[in-house]
Amino acid sequence: MEQITVGLTGNPNCGKSCVFNSLTGAKQHVGNYPGVTVEKVEGWCEHKGYRIRIVDLPGTYSISAHSMDEKVARDFVLSDECDVIVNVIDSNNFERNLFLTTQLFELNKPLVAALNMYDVATKNGLEYDKEKIGTFLNGTAVSTVGNKGEGIKELLDAVVYEHNCRREFDNRINYGSDIEERLERLTCLISKEVTAGDEKKARYHALQLLQMDCDINEFGENAAKVAQEAISELNRMYGDNPHILMAEKRYGFISGLFEQTVRKTVEIRHDASDAIDKILLNRVLGLPIFFGMMYLVFKLTFWLGDPVMTVIENGFDLLKGFVNSAWPAGAEGPLQSLIVDGIIGGVGGVVVFLPNIIFLFLAIAVLEDSGYMARAAFLMDRIMKKIGLHGQSFIPMLIGFGCTVPAIMGTRILNERRSRLTTIMILPLISCGARLPIYALIIPAFFPKHLHGFMMWSMYVIGILLAIILAKVLRKTLFKGKNTVMLMELPPYRVPTLRSVFTHMWQKSWLYLKKAGTLILAISIILWAMTSYPKLPEEQTAGMVPKQAQAAELKHTAAGRIATTIEPATKLMGFDYKIGTALLGAFAAKEVFVAQMGIVNSLGDAGAESKPLREKLKEQYTPLQGFCIMLFCLISTPCVATVAICRKETQSWAFAMGQFIGLTVLAFVITAAVYQMGILIT
């Protein structure tokens, strides 16, 4: 007869002994674990043709190995001897008991959750969705009343099922990008140190190292050094030890699981986070508070960023003037134009919006680190479900406010392929940081000051609404299918540390500056060349006024010829050939649109009094055209990097190119319709 060995675990006083007695009856044996004085109790029973050996492990609140009982329990459930883990949970103290459950969950072994004392919990007004609990834990959940023997047959059924169903395990709690990045590094190092067949446990051992749950030298000098550095870095960044930070994330997992699987007919929770959540997660107030908070963020972005931006803008104008005045008279030529128009005009036009980037990401870092952004995802869950997605899809969308590339990579948290593909397809509609310089250029140029925050907020809301509509269409057509249930984590609120907020803000701002100094600098030089060559023979501009000559020269260049060719189409959206050349550059990176507008509007300024780019745009275009530029840049095809990551994550050129072409066509149709209707109305 085949044998199944079960490790019976649980907190002290969860009724584990009663369950053990009901399972084994008189068939018990008492001894000691080898080398220690901890009592070892085991028994057995037969069920569905299996001899089931049940080892009653010491009651423990965790498997962190701080005491001998915890070490014995941990070693047994980690060993190959244990086929199935049965975690007995006191249903009346569900959240408290789940801390041990989260640790067992991460062991990636067959798991059965026995919700014990279920009769008392029901009387106390608690109702559990056992199917969802089992799904979230990648195992099975059953209800038991150990002292009455109720639910024991179902428990044994679940043990046999979990033993035979051969699940794929990759159970993990998301500890946030800072911890996950260090965990990944440690996991790779540990994988090389453990014996063959134990590689799957490498992440668990990495968790142990970061939590200081084992000898730091256990997995070699390299791993010890990396772990020590990671612990120190996280300590400096958050002002707390990693084990506290990770415990908070586990409680976030627990909170999410509780909110989604337990229905309370009697109010019993009264801690501070719950009290705040009563307002912020209120079914009526929650969403208006979220949108109001985002509006405030954008308002502050302009209010605080504008004065600094003006200083930087004036600085670049002074620099251009200095270069022009210092240039030897009569020696003006391509090199001067490259420095003034290509480099200062192009890169300077992008760098000038750094203050807006800094203040926006500072505000988002505060919201993220305080735990509010997880609530935003929870609030959006109801809306996301209506369009066929899960609230978890909102997490990559939130990342997408920074950059679409990591957002697409972030969709790996979605297990269901159709939901993941849908999320990937709609993510470019979320306004990324690269679009922010475009909004920051256009909005102050064409709209009154009191509307700056509102216009910025509108662009983000339009993107979200379009993403919702597109998701609904995709789920009804290309990606039909039922949604699987997924866990929403709700970490407790915490006051963000200055170091962590500034670290996150600086990381994103530095990436922006780095991009301006590398990719955008290179593209600016290429675009300067495309907008400067080939040169129009001087005799062809003879007799023209300066502005006419400048337009004729630009149209004669490589970029001008391309833009002139597509002008009949772009005109429908209200764009001229200058905007057309800038949009061509934006295919490489969105910020290049601003750089290119800076270049084409700087050409020919040498020696003349230079005006800020926003003033030049205001003289040439209307507010309707300004709005259409933002609309087209919001909806149109993502940058080259997004196409590449889409191809990598979907493993399909068809999806990548479908997204590229589809969004460009959609942007054209909507922008042209808005412009034409705007013309009719005005």
pLDDT tens figures, 464-509: 899 989 988 998 898 887 666 556 667 777 788 787 788 778 877 7
Q: Any binding-site annotation on 11?
A: yes
Average pLDDT (145-164) is 92
pLDDT(338) > 50: yes
Q: At what angle do helices 436-446 and 613-620 cross, to 10 degrees?
A: 60
Closest by CA to 174, choosing from 164, 183, 187, 186, is 183
Q: Any binding-site annotation on 578?
A: no
Q: Any binding-site annotation on 324?
A: no
Q: Which two three-digit tokens encode residue 389?
A: 């997605």
pLDDT(583) > 70: yes
Euclidean distance between the first and the last CA atom of the chain, given in angstroms as a whole number: 85
Kindly report each contact of residues 313-320 with a partner whose C-beta sits within 8 Å and lies 24 or more positions away, as own/partner: 313/352, 313/612, 316/344, 316/348, 316/349, 316/351, 316/352, 317/610, 317/612, 319/344, 319/348, 320/344, 320/345, 320/348, 320/602, 320/605, 320/610
Q: Any binding-site annotation on 602?
A: no
Q: Any binding-site annotation on 455?
A: no
Q: Any binding-site annotation on 437?
A: no
Average pLDDT (277-289) is 85
Of the chain, the percentage scoring pLDDT greater than 90 comes to 20
Which carries the bigger pLDDT value, residue 179 or residue 239?
179
- Phi, then psi, of 422 in degrees rounded to 5: -60, -45
Which CATH superfamily hosts domain 3-164? P-loop containing nucleotide triphosphate hydrolases (3.40.50.300)
Q: Any binding-site annotation on 287?
A: no
Name, in order, each residue with C-beta under 8 angstroms of 287's C-beta and a sequence gap of 6 or more.
379
Least confident of 83-92, 405-414, 648-657, 668-677: 405-414
pLDDT(608) > 50: no
pLDDT(362) > 70: yes
Q: Any binding-site annotation on 38?
A: yes
Least confident of 92-101, 374-383, 409-418: 409-418
Burial of 375 (0-12, 13-18, 19+ CB in 10 A): buried
Q: Any binding-site annotation on 157?
A: no
* pLDDT in the model for residue 541: 75
Q: Any binding-site annotation on 16?
A: yes
Q: Any binding-site annotation on 13?
A: yes
Q: Any binding-site annotation on 56?
A: yes
**536: Cα within 13 Å, side-chain hemisphere:** 20
* Domain boundaries for CATH 3.40.50.300 within the chain: 3-164
Q: Please, are residues 374 and 491 in contact by the beta-carbon 8 Å criterion?
A: yes
Q: Which two three-digit tokens encode residue 37?
A: 């004085």
Q: Any binding-site annotation on 12?
A: yes
CA distance 585 to 519: 12
> Could you tell me the sign of the dihedral formed by the alpha carbons of 15, 16, 22, 26, in that order?
negative
Cα distances (Å, whole numbers) of residue 47 to 53, 56, 86, 399: 11, 18, 16, 49
CA distance 9 to 673: 64
Helices (H), 167-241: 177-193, 202-211, 221-238
Q: Any binding-site annotation on 439?
A: no
Place of tokens 């899960």: 390
CA distance 656 to 517: 28
Cα distances (Å, whole numbers) of residue 527 to 31, 349, 549, 597: 80, 14, 20, 10
Q: Any binding-site annotation on 35?
A: yes
Element (H, E) at 391: none
